[in-house]
Each structure stands twice: as structure tokens, then as C-alpha cells.
Amino acid sequence: MTVGDVHFYPFSKDKFNELLDAEMSARALISGLHGATEAREQGPEIEQHEAIHSRQWARYPKAEFFVAKYLGYETLRSLWKTGDPSDGNSFEMDANLYWGGYERHPALP
């Protein structure tokens, strides 16, 4: 999760490094099967995803405005529309659903 320009990971640093290693392996698998462009666009990449969220926060003069729009409008609208908090959420879609782990490339187990 990103709050402003701070990225929070709920587990240990070792677990986060394991996640990054797993993402790199997943992108390598996708790249081998479907090419580097598809791996870049549809592979997991949590750090890129969260960096986009950081830039999204920066567009708002107050954190409360961002939170209200993200949680109060986008997430609720997404839940109502699709039943999923990310699927119709413009903030999550802008940050790439594949990079954030909300969508999974079909080549991945």
C-alpha cells in the first residue's frame, strides 16, 4: 500500500524481497512465452504500481481529498459496478491491475 510517497508492506523485508523475486520469475516466464512487451505490460510489478499511486497522491492538495475519491467514490463505484474494489477503480486501473496483482496473466500458474 502507498500512502503519499511511503510504500507499506505488511510482512517482513525478506517476504517483500521474495515477492520481488517471484515477480521477476513471472515476468521472465511471460516474456519467454509471449515476448518482453507483454511481460512489461501484463506481468506483476508491485513497485511500479505503487509508484503510480504515489504520483496520484501528489496530484491532490490534501490527503483527505485523495482518500475520499479513492475509497469514497472509486472503490464504492467499482464494487457496485463489478463487485470488485479494483476492477472499476480508475486509480487502480491507472496503476495497472496486472502490476498490482489484481489481474493475473493467463500464462502464470
Q: How many Cβ atoms from other residues are within 10 Å of residue 58's Cβ?
A: 11
pTM: 0.89
pLDDT digits (tens, 9 = 90+) for 44-83: 999 999 999 999 999 999 999 999 999 889 999 999 999 9
Q: What percent of the chain has pLDDT over 70?
A: 100
Measured in degrees and rounded to the nearest 5, phi and psi for residue 69 equal: -70, -45
Residue in 33, 35, 23, 32 with CA at minimum distance from that of residue 104: 23
